[in-house]
Structure formats: structure tokens, C-alpha cells
Amino acid sequence: MIPRYTRPEMARIWTDQRKFETWLEIELMACEALAELGEISREAVQEIKEKSKFDIRRIDEIEKVTKHDVLAFLTNVGEAIGPLSKYLHYGLTSSDILDTSLALLLKEASEIILQDIHRLLDVLKKKAFEYKETLMIGRTHGIHAEPTTFGLKMALWYDEMKRNLTRMERAKDAVSVGKISGAVGTFAHIRPFVEEYVCKRLGLKPAPISTQIVQRDHHAEFFTTLAIIASSIEKFAVELRHLQRTEVLEAEEFFSKGQKGSSAMPHKRNPVSAENLTGLARLIRSYSIASLENIPLWHERDISHSSVERVIAPDATILIDYMLDRLTSLIQNLIVYPETMKVNLERMGGLIFSEAILLLLTRKGLAREEAYAVVQRNAMRVWEKGEDFKSLLSQDEGIQRLLTRQELDGVFDLRSHLKHVDDIFRRVFGGP
């Protein structure tokens, strides 16, 4: 992944240094397990651990000849250890190291992503309560529908991210699976105890059964989870982009001092963060498709998945980390315009109260179809000629016969749309 989208903490996980550290850690733990079984002396293991080291440049040199990264690594470590290196990688296959290492790295990445989600949840909750009763128009099909609040919009996003938190916790668990079971997973040359020992030490679960590899449905679950999270982020970003449109302008990304919106038009303040997130979500979703295609492999294993994972594992985790952080900053610094929301609420001349008047008329005895026709007839005059809905209704003889002026006034009360906001917030956030 390019540096532009890479945050330092996540970047460290996907360095060659960290990769080889995990490889060495797994190899040494396997030696420890063999010592526990009495197959290697504890003194030998101690000497192996003291002498073991690697040099990335030397590994690269060897790999140019071997065309095999794990063997190049083992050769380099063996150069440092000497004769006792014969115990290194004993009874193991490359995928024992590669898959267990990948599980460990994805687990570490998951922990960062979970922290990111928690930070975003904190910001969303704060905004939800801040704008709990800030009325704005709710839109369906992009058209004015009925009043809602900006706080409810934030609460909805909070609730969705809570589900994403649960999904991510499951994904972390799903991918935290290692294997130390040999060439086709039969433990032909290594005892199951070694796998159990290594995985326990690393905080992983041993795969109940493997081929040469951990089965890729584990990884597909992980990457599809990232895709769902990315799609939620895009959903929020698209909404903010709509709200920032000039004709709407109910909310706006923070525009810092000295920031430029356009090379040609000095007046521009564009929703660049939200647009950036929208684009990056497409990448994450594409990675999930690649992970699904990794599930069917030939027989006990081929390497068609390997090249894919070398790209998508670092890129997807780096990107989702970046996206969550950028969205958190976007929402934290979001500029909200309640007055514009009020103006937009009034833009349609009171049509947003059409359902309320419809229901009141039915309660007064009109059949629903008749009531609908009466309300729609007046509503279309407002839609087409820009008249005032309440005034038209007050002049409609059919309505005059059924409703008092006071009853009609009661329909056009914005506050009525707030009466269950507290109930919704209790559902989302808990509390009395």
C-alpha cells in the first residue's frame, strides 16, 4: 500500500522485519515443544535461541538462488545457529510457518482495527447526543419525506458500527487459526502436541484439521468482514457528500486554514474526505472477492492464494485502518448547520405533514382512499404552484367540515416528530 494511506502502527505489522520475526518465533516455539517431548535437549534449544538471528539482505540474496522464501530464511538462520540448525523446521512444511504467521499478523491487525472502531463509536455517540433534537428533513428516494433529527442519523450509524464491531470480533476469532501439522496435515513427522503448544503460546487456535494449509474460508470471512465495514463507511460518506451539496448544505467537512478546494475555482470547498472514503471502499470490496476465490484450491494445496494474500492482507488492513481514522476525524470535526436544516424543512410549504393530516382525517371517519385523495389534491397544488399546504387545507370545504382550526394547527407541529426520540436512543445506547 502506498504511504499516503498507511498509518505507522499498522505499517509495522506488514514489514519484512515483523514477518521474519514471527517466522523465527514459530520455529523456536516448535523447538521448545520438541524439547517438552524429549526429542531435543533443553540445552540445545537454549543454544538455538541464543544464536538465532536473521539478516533481511542475506535472505534476499539466498532467495534469488532458491526461489523459495522460507528456505532462504531457514538457510540464513542456520548460518547463525550452526550444526544445531538441524532441529529447526523439524517435521514442518513451509505453510506451517506461513499460515501460522499470517494468522498472527492478521490477529495483530484486527486489534488495531477494533481500537479504530471503538474510537469511531465514541465520536458517533457524542454527535448523536449533541444533535439529538436537531430537526432536519428526512429524505426517501432523495425527496423530502418527514422530519427526523441529525442526532438520529448519528445514532443509526452508531448502531451499524456496533454491529461491525461484533463482526470484527468474530472475524478476528475466525482468522486466529494456526497449523503445525506437516506436508498434508497428517502429523506424519510431527506430533499434534507441537501444534497445540505453538498455537497456545501465540494466542491462536489450532486448526481442527488441515491439509498443507489452513482452509481459506477462515480468511474469506475476515476479508468479507472488512468489506462490510468499508461499505458502511462508504454509506456514511455518501450521505455526508449529499448533505454538503450546495443546494442542501446541512453539514460540511471542516475546511482548514490554507486548504484549497480547486486549482481553478478559489471558492470551492469540496467533500474530499468523504469522496476519498467512497473510492477506497471499492478497493476493500474487491479484496473480499479475491479472498472468496482463494477458497477452492487444488487437492491439498496449490499456491494460487499466496500471491493474492501477499497483496490483500497488508493492503486491506492498512486501508480499513486509514478509512476508520479518517472517518472519525471527519465526523469529529464536522460542521453542522441547524439553521439551514430548518430552512430546508420549510422548503416544501408544509408538505412534510401530509401523512399526519391523512391519518387525522381517517380518525375523523373518512375512508383512507377518500382521505388520501383530499390530501394529495391539495399537496399537488403546492408541488406544482408553490402554494402553502396549511393554507390550502384550511380553505378546503371537505376538511373544514371535519377539522377545527386548532386540530389543523396541531398537525403542523414539528415537535411531534420528537416524541419518541428518547425511546429510540434508549434502544441504541441503553439507559433508563
Which residues are identified as catalytic? Answer: 141, 262
Residues 293 and 384 in one domain: no
Give pLDDT, residue 399: 87
- Tell which residue, 179, 271, 289, 178, has the closest CA to residue 231: 289
Provide the Cα torsion 391, 395, 399, 404; round to 10°.
70
Assign residue 51 the CATH number of its domain: 1.10.275.10
The answer to whether residue 429 is domain-embedded is: no
Grid cell digits, residue 152: 438520529
> What is the separation of C-alpha 340 from the centre of its chain, rounded to a whole number of angstroms?
31
In a domain, 423, yes or no: no
Do residues 23 and 152 both lie within one domain? no
pTM tops 0.85, yes or no: yes
Q: SS3 breakdown of the chain: % helix, strand, coil, rounded to 5?
A: 70, 5, 25
Alpha-carbon distances of 30 from 39, 102, 183, 200, 297, rounded to whole Å: 11, 16, 15, 12, 27
Q: Which CATH number is 387's domain given?
A: 1.10.40.30
Crossing angle of helices 69-81 and 16-36, rounded to 10°: 60
C-beta of residue 316 within 8 angstroms of C-beta of residue 234: no
- Is the domain of 211 the same as that of 358? no
DSSP secondary structure letters along 362-398: HHTT--HHHHHHHHHHHHHHHHHH---HHHHHHH-HH
Q: What are the E-state strand segments in 234-332?
A: 251-252
The reply to whether 180 and 320 lie within a common domain is: yes
261 and 329 both lie in a single domain: yes
- What DSSP state is assigned to residue 335? E
Please count the structural domains in the chain.
Answer: 3
Task: Note down the domain range covering 338.
Answer: 92-342
Q: Is 199 part of any domain?
A: yes
Q: Do 184 and 64 share a domain, yes or no?
A: no
Q: Tell me, what's the pLDDT at 48?
A: 98
Structure confidence by residue, pLDDT tens digits, 91-149: 999 999 999 999 999 999 999 999 999 999 999 999 999 999 999 999 999 999 999 99
Each of the 432 residues of the chain gets a pLDDT tens digit; together they read 789 999 999 999 999 999 999 999 999 999 999 999 999 999 999 999 999 999 999 999 999 999 999 999 999 999 999 999 999 999 999 999 999 999 999 999 999 999 999 999 999 999 999 999 999 999 999 999 999 999 999 999 999 999 999 999 999 999 999 999 999 999 999 999 999 999 999 999 999 999 999 999 999 999 999 999 999 999 999 999 999 999 999 999 987 788 887 777 888 888 999 999 999 999 999 999 999 999 999 999 999 999 999 999 999 999 999 999 999 999 999 999 999 999 999 999 999 999 999 999 999 999 999 999 999 999 999 999 989 999 999 998 888 888 889 999 999 999 999 999 999 999 999 987
Going by the DSSP 8-state scheme, the letter that residue 186 receives in this structure is S
Backbone angles phi, psi at 269, to 5 degrees: -130, 95
